[in-house]
Structure 1
Amino acid sequence: MITKTVKQISEMIKIENDLSEFQNIEVRGLSIDSRKIEQGNLFVPFKGENSDGHRFVEEAIQKGAAAAFWQKDVPNPPLHLPILIVEDTLLALQELARAYRNMLNVRIVGITGSNGKTTTKDMTANLLAIEYKVQKTEGNFNNEIGLPLTILALEEDTEIAVLEMGMSSRGEIDFLTRLARPEAAIITNIGESHLLDLGSREGITEAKLEIINGLQENGLVTYYGDEPLLSEKLLDYKGNIMIKTFGRRGINNIYPVDIEQNDNGSVFSTNVSNSEFKLPVLGTHNVLNALAAMTVANQFGVPYEKMNEGFAKLKLTNMRTELLQGRKGEKIINDAYNASPTSMHAAIELLSHLPGYKNKILVLGDMLELGPEEKNFHLKMGESIDPNKINYVLTFGKLGEWIAEGARKKLPADHVFSFTEKQLLIEKIEKLVDEETIVLVKASRGMKLEEIIAALQ
């Protein structure tokens, strides 16, 4: 993590006040939450519409913070304390991260996409760790606050940092990539998340492609080559970068030749290696995420033959195709972290093709932020379910009712149920499950379907 004196920080970014009294104080790391202060941290308060972190500056220093930022337009700064007055605390955080990143001899991998960013980040970091000292974005620290904090948490001897880059509108990834200056970038896919903000999949594509704006010269961008919107933009790209594709089809630089699924994950082979790869993660879509990670790791010199070492140690961030067990012996796939039409289709495909179960139950909730076509997306999702591969469909939420409406066109009416109360949904699931049952749970983050999973365990 960043370890600098107050004087050194004042040389990295513009400070508005005299710090000579405190210039030798050493800062170690940062915190934006006064409840999580660690000894020596720099506390960064933010001024919001409904709350103001400046109220907690003195408390943070009492708890062990070495110093704190203070926004210029906030009155009554406690100047008897080590306060660094800046024009804007968020901009100061970002500029400090930029200056620190430029001091480090670190190579950066940037990852964006509509779905699979966090999973691909975890895979990429594991594969690169076979040969390098690696750090990665923790949790979902992938925005204009989280990414600077991740950079400032990098150790000075870190060789590669794998950084997730999220967005909700145009220009956000452009800012993040120019700050990070990646040597390699992955675009996992183009889905329907943020249609409400960006209006179309074409708009989402443009926003994701901003990651190239900060890519270093001769850097690598690898993308999902089965997506026409990406291919149209990148096949004739004139910039001085390398372009590689991954996907299901043989037109890609790397693609799966064979995939076998079981409770323990996937076993697959590819066109680029004679090795067989064992991925301890469920879902064909995660094999595609693995191909993206493998492309970048190989570009950084990790041999394909060693990659199973990295896959064997893989542990995904929670609530992403996590296999659990319920009280009645049923298996539960917890994929409740988030959902879009693309990722929900992938989850349905996963459950449809998973062998070894007599009873397969889909528990699906609302997919949010899909714009004016949201009802149609949910209806079509229900219509896509194969009654020969799925036994029951249970939905939660007002939009989930449209999934049920579509599913009733395929499954018997007494095998499709719709709920707006979680307790009633839980009681229904408990009546349907036994030791030969597997339940998959998926919805947007706001639906909090992990509460259903907790009740079944």
Structure 2
Amino acid sequence: MLITTDQLYHKFLECTGVSTDTRRITPDCLFVALKGANFDGNQFAEQALASGARYVLVDDVAVAERDPRCLLVADGLTALQDLARHHRQTLSIPVIGLTGSNGKTTTKELIANVLAKKYRTYATVGNLNNHIGVPLTILSLNEQHELAVVEMGANHQKEIELLCTIAQPTHGLITNVGKAHLEGFGGIEGVRKGKGELYDYLAQNGRTVFINSRDKTLMAMYRERLKTLRSESVFAEVIFYPAVESPAKSVELLQESPVVVYRDSAGQEITTHLPGRYNFENIIGALAIGEYFGVTSDEANHAVANYNPTNNRSQVIAKGTNTVLLDAYNANPSSMAAAIRQFASMPAKRKAVILGDMYELGNESEAEHTALGKLIAESKFDLVILAGKDMHYALGYLPKAYYFPDKFSLHNWLMDNPMTDTHILIKGSRGMSLETVVPFI
């Protein structure tokens, strides 16, 4: 007999947490058996119970009949999402929903660090930002938490809409709209529409939105919704930022330490370990949210200064006489162009770039990699190293670049050609795993 969401929720309250991975079973947790193209979590139900799970959620009748601790549902993923929705409705805390093409995770971490100065804050762990990760994030919230920051990622339209029904954000922010996941979204207009689903949810439910007033695309998306939604719905509040300004010298990577200095409108310095003008936009978003929730500017600036990324995003690593800027968690045409332009503007004796393929571009891949080659050529780096099957499209503008179709060849070349006194930017899509080249520099 199928268990209802209400019945399942009472079982959930007996558990210590939720897991979808038998390698991460904690005592008395609820294990949710999910299915994919190449796996069936139902097959691991008994293993999860043996490892200490209190209950397992399954959608296979035969498996459910083996043990009374197996809770039968029609579909494991749908039940997980419904359970998270039910739990969310029991919570009265502010939930900040966050999406965007670039900078989501960094901005999420910055917001969480700032808000933690005043509130018991919970934020999306790692990159759990999809149709499975968001429910797990919501189900991790409890009565101890005063605020939550929920990152929402998407690679096709209607996904943010779905995630909003689960997270039910009271506040929201879109970092930017760029050329990410073009294949799934169906082009840049599809990206804009898909990310805008967060604005739609916030407006339709009378919630608060934070908008970067310096971003023309986001401002246009906001104005479009004022026209189309009209009296049907309205944002509870619209908070425009920035309240701080970038100085004339703007963003500078200091030679003696990986610290970037910004100035606010009062001339006060804001220091951070995050290089790049694009990270300034992430920082001012976090500061705006901190100010809204009553975090003092001193505490907020201190939180930003203490944030040191360790997730292959905007990391600055000293390797002998070299300085490595590791930004290898992901890449798309927008983030790649921003990183290259910023790196080109930095003061350094010698500059090298190690760049890998940008994934999920579909039919636009050849054109986007070709355009990237032109930008790299205009930047006049001392050394250009490209890796991946699609990066060969960039070579038309780069007769002096080194190209490797695979990382094994790249690793060997780096060992045979050591660099010294060089600033090195490493960036590519997640599937390229370019952080693996760091030990060879």
Distance 1:24 1:138, change over 3 A: closer
Distance 1:404 1:389, change over 3 A: same
- Show the counterpart of 2:42: 54
Counterpart CA distance in 1 for 2:279 and 2:82 is 35
- Show the counterpart of 2:138: 151
- Show the counterpart of 1:117: 104
Counterpart CA distance in 2 for 1:359 and 1:433 is 13
Secondary structure at the counterpart of residue 275 of structure 2? coil
Q: Normalising by structure 1, what TM-score?
A: 0.87
Counterpart CA distance in 2 for 1:80 and 1:388 is 64
- Show the counterpart of 1:338: 330
Secondary structure at the counterpart of residue 148 of structure 2? strand
Counterpart CA distance in 2 for 1:25 and 1:201 is 43
Counterpart CA distance in 1 for 2:406 and 2:162 is 41
Counterpart CA distance in 1 for 2:220 and 2:243 is 16
- Show the counterpart of 2:201: 214
Deviations 1:188-230 (A, max 9, x none): 1111111112222121111001112332755332234444433
- Show the counterpart of 1:405: 396
Distance 1:375 1:227, change over 3 A: farther
Secondary structure at the counterpart of residue 277 of structure 1? strand
- Show the counterpart of 2:343: 351
- Corresponding pairs, count: 427
Q: Which amino acid is the alignment partner of residue 443 of structure 1?
A: G
**Would the aligned equivalents of 2:328 and 2:427 in 1 still touch at CA under 8 Å?**
yes
- Show the counterpart of 2:181: 194
Identity, % of aligned pairs? 34
Counterpart CA distance in 2 for 1:324 and 1:126 is 22
Secondary structure at the counterpart of residue 268 of structure 1? strand
Q: Over aligned residue pairs, what C-alpha RMSD do you find?
A: 2.5
Secondary structure at the counterpart of residue 215 of structure 1? helix
- Show the counterpart of 2:403: 418
Segment drifting more, 31-40 vs 426-435: 426-435
- Show the counterpart of 2:274: 281
Counterpart CA distance in 2 for 1:260 and 1:118 is 20
Counterpart CA distance in 1 for 2:57 and 2:409 is 49
Counterpart CA distance in 2 for 1:85 and 1:424 is 50
**Would the aligned equivalents of 2:272 and 2:306 in 1 still touch at CA under 8 Å?**
no
**Would the aligned equivalents of 1:381 and 1:406 in 2 still touch at CA under 8 Å?**
no
**Would the aligned equivalents of 2:96 and 2:148 in 1 still touch at CA under 8 Å?**
yes
Secondary structure at the counterpart of residue 13 of structure 1? helix
Deviations 1:349-370 (A, max 9, x none): 2321222x31110111111111
Q: Which amino acid is the alignment partner of residue 264 of structure 1?
A: P
Matched, 1:240 2:235: yes
Matched, 1:95 2:82: yes
Secondary structure at the counterpart of residue 101 of structure 2? coil
- Show the counterpart of 1:161: 148
- Show the counterpart of 1:34: 22
Q: Which amino acid is the alignment partner of residue 29 of structure 1?
A: G
Segment drifting more, 219-228 vs 358-367: 219-228
Counterpart CA distance in 1 for 2:189 and 2:15 is 44
- Show the counterpart of 1:438: 423
- Show the counterpart of 2:124: 137
Q: Normalising by structure 2, what TM-score?
A: 0.90
Matched, 1:297 2:282: no
Gaps of 5+ in 2: none
- Larger helix share, 1 or 2: 2
Counterpart CA distance in 2 for 1:124 and 1:210 is 21
Q: Which amino acid is the alignment partner of residue 113 of structure 1?
A: G
Counterpart CA distance in 1 for 2:177 and 2:134 is 21
Alignment map for 1:9-24 (pairs within 5 Å): 12-13=5-6
Gaps of 5+ in 1: 1-9, 247-251
**1:335, distance to aligned residue in structure 2 (A):** 0.9
Deviations 1:286-341 (A, max 9, x none): 01111111111111112323312211321325110111233x53221111111011
Secondary structure at the counterpart of residue 286 of structure 1? helix
Counterpart CA distance in 2 for 1:75 and 1:32 is 20
Secondary structure at the counterpart of residue 315 of structure 1? coil
**Would the aligned equivalents of 1:37 and 1:65 in 2 still touch at CA under 8 Å?**
yes
- Show the counterpart of 1:362: 353
- Show the counterpart of 2:382: 391
**Would the aligned equivalents of 2:377 and 2:397 in 1 still touch at CA under 8 Å?**
no
Matched, 1:256 2:246: yes
**Would the aligned equivalents of 1:205 and 1:230 in 2 still touch at CA under 8 Å?**
no
